[in-house]
Amino acid sequence: MTRVPIRYGARPCSLVVCRGCCCGDARKNPGMDHAGQLARLREAAAASGGRLLVRTSDCLGPCAQANVLVVQPSTEGRRRGGRAAWIGWSADQDCLDEILAWTAAGGPGVAPAPAALQLQMIDPPKN
């Protein structure tokens, strides 16, 4: 994996992909290529020239809406008022297409979320 250095204060848009007890688990979502989904996201990040990062989390919390991922704004997106967008039910290719198109356009705060993706947005868990 090629690591792209990030300038201080210039954080790219990032995806946090849940891979806990339910997300990414074939028992919860049989027939889904969970490893392929993560590989596709990582390939997009590698091809982005440092404009997209992908990380995994052991558990993000809202297991009933698995697979869950969070789209975090870039520094510029945050400056423009963008906030993290929690996406549920993200296991299918159409959802990944929408997420990757949105992040390529700049993500939260820079570009509006696609309408179809807005229907999959969920509230973050309460602490």
- Over residues 45-86, the pLDDT tens digits come to 999 999 999 999 999 988 889 899 999 999 999 999 999 999
pLDDT above 70: residue 91: yes
Q: Is 124 left (phi over 0), alpha (psi -120 to 50) or beta?
A: beta
- Cβ-based burial of 5 (10 A; exposed 0-12, middle 13-18, buried ≥19): exposed
Contact call for residues 122 and 70 (beta carbons, < 8 A): no
pLDDT above 90: residue 24: no
**Whole-prediction pTM value?**
0.88
Which own/partner pairs from 115-119 qualify as long-range (CB within 8 Å, at least 24 positions apart)? Answer: 117/87
Strand spans (E) along 19-120: 52-57, 69-72, 85-87
What's the CA gap between 44 and 71, in Å, rounded?
14
CA 30, distance to chain mean position in Å, is 21
Nearest-5° angle of CA 107, CA 91, CA 109? 10
Mean pLDDT over each residue of the chain, to the nearest integer: 89
